[in-house]
Every structure is written in C-alpha cells, then in structure tokens.
Amino acid sequence: MRWIFAILLLLVMACSIDTVSSLDENIAAETDDLWTENDVVRDTITDSRDGKKYEVVKIGNQWWMAENLDYVLDSSFCYNDELDSCEIYGRLYTWDVAMNLDRRYLTDNAFYYEQVDSVHQGICPDNWHIPTKSEWRKLIEFMEFHNGDEGSGASIRTPYGWVTGMGEWADDYSHKVPVESVNRFGFAALPGGARATRSLTSCNCYSYEDSRNNLFCGHAYFSFFWSATEDYSYRNNTNYAAFVTVNGMMNSGGVYIYDNPDKSKDWAMSVRCVKN
C-alpha cells in the first residue's frame, strides 16, 4: 500500500499545471514588508438571499470572503452528502452552477456565447463576484510578496481541519515536517475537497480507489476553488475553466492555479467570492 501511495504522489506532481503561483525571483526575494495580524482588516457581510453572515477580509486592495460560500441550491453538494460538512466547509458547486449559467455551458463555451460578464456575479451575494484567474493570481502574488520566506500554502491555510504530516506514510516519505497553517492574511482556506470524476481523484486526490467507489475526495488534504475564467482547447476540442487548489501537504508553495483542458467543469468545488 505504501509503495502505491508513493507512486500516486509522483503522479500528482506529474499532473500538468499551466499556471502556478510563482513570482519574478527579484520580487519574491523582497521580505522587508512582512504582513502581520495588525495588518489584517476584517468585516462581515450578510447574504440578503438567506440571511447568512460571512467574514470577509481585505488583502492588498481586494476584499475576499474568508469563508466558503454556503448558499443552498438543489444542484449543490455537501462533502460525502453530509449536511454537517456544509456547516464547516461550505457547499461544492459545478462550474455552471457557480456561474449561475445554464447546464449546457458545462460543455459549451460560455464566454464565446457572451454569457460571462467581465465582473460575473454568478451565485455570489450582491456586490460580490466569482474571481477571475487574474484576480486569483493577484491574491497569490500579494501573499508571496508579503510573507517572507513562508510558503504560500502556510500563509493561506486556516489553522484547523488540515492533516498534519503524512500519517502512516511518514516513515517512507521524505516530507515529514508537520504542515504549517499560519493564515497570515486571514483568508482561512479550508480543506473542503471536491466532488469529482476519476481524472481528478487520480491526479489531485491521491486515490484510485475513491475514483471507483466515491465521487468525493480530498477532504482534509485539499481546497479547490473555481475561477470565472474559461478557455477552449483546439487540441482536445474541450471547453474548460481555471481553478485554484491549496495543497495541504506542502509548506513550500502549495497554492496553484490549474488551467488545463484535461480538467472538467462538472467537478464540484468550493466558491470564494471577491468584492466588486
């Protein structure tokens, strides 16, 4: 079993990432503007649709939700179909649902048919919207510029809910350092996992077994967040959307933007909204 896990871990690293959270080396070397708790500006908003309150946080000149969206829709999911999971981790949404679009846009290109606004509200509360890939990149770059030599994964993760170290594989795998979760900027990324097809479970969630028996994977190990950015692959004849993942088993790096035609819009992931 251990050697199988090691192989799967190598497959994870082999899965293509077209865009990663990297900065120009000269910029990344700047560490004199370290963000502290005193720099964090917090507030709360109320979703007028259901009265739910969300903590929000200002990071740079962006306001982000500091909790996963938990707006109930018939086509949304709780991890493992357990309602208690939604109370903690929010709901999981396919891309078309997150964008509040017709289901045809799981396969059709919504941007081509002029269904995607430049600031696209989707299912976010009023005055908030689904972040674009550029907005996610701006967040990641700000964190990497203001967190010293700390990994972006440690900077963005909430201190609870994540696995610590590698459990039973710790003796066989070189990454034995406990996972750090500093939450330096107040974003509080939660490991909500995803509801996924086999291609995601084999690449990102480390388990072929889950891909056969359970559509849910990644809980306690990964965050997955949708972006509003869509593209088309002529090679694959596929429409796809970029998403962000936070890897719970990495301190160095650990936040990535996936922009790849092999990824599907029918996976259900978490939603974080950004202010207009």
pLDDT in tens, 32-87: 589 988 999 999 999 999 999 999 999 999 999 999 999 999 899 999 999 999 99
pLDDT of the residue at 110:
85
Task: Give, rounded to a whole angstrom, the gap between the first and last alpha carbons of the chain.
Answer: 48
Has residue 79 been placed in a domain? no
Q: Say whether 226 sits in a helix, a strand or coil.
A: strand
Q: Quick one: pLDDT band at residue 178, thresholds 50, 70, 90?
A: low
Average of per-residue pLDDT values in the chain: 80
Q: 93-97, 147-151, 198-202: lowest mean pLDDT where?
A: 198-202
Has residue 36 been placed in a domain? yes
Q: Quick one: pLDDT band at residue 28, thresholds 50, 70, 90?
A: very low
How far apart CA 137 and CA 164 sit, in angstroms, is 27
Query: Which contacts qualify for 4-9: CB closer than 8 Å, 24 or more apart?
Result: 5/169, 5/206, 6/169, 6/172, 6/173, 8/202, 8/206, 8/207, 8/208, 9/173, 9/206
The answer on pLDDT for 208 being more than 50 is no
Has residue 83 been placed in a domain? no
**Higher per-residue confidence, 18 vs 180:** 180
The whole model's pTM is what? 0.83
User: 3-state DSSP: the chain helix, strand, coil percent, rounded to 5?
Assistant: 25, 20, 50
The answer on pLDDT for 99 being more than 50 is yes
pLDDT of the residue at 20:
46
Q: Say whether 272 sits in a helix, a strand or coil.
A: coil
Has residue 88 been placed in a domain? no
Has residue 85 been placed in a domain? no
Give the single-character DSSP code of 121: -
pLDDT of the residue at 101:
96
Has residue 148 been placed in a domain? yes
210 in Cβ contact with 217 (< 8 Å): yes
Q: For the chain, what is the domain count?
A: 1
Has residue 37 been placed in a domain? yes
Range of the domain at 18: 2-67+94-275
Has residue 78 been placed in a domain? no
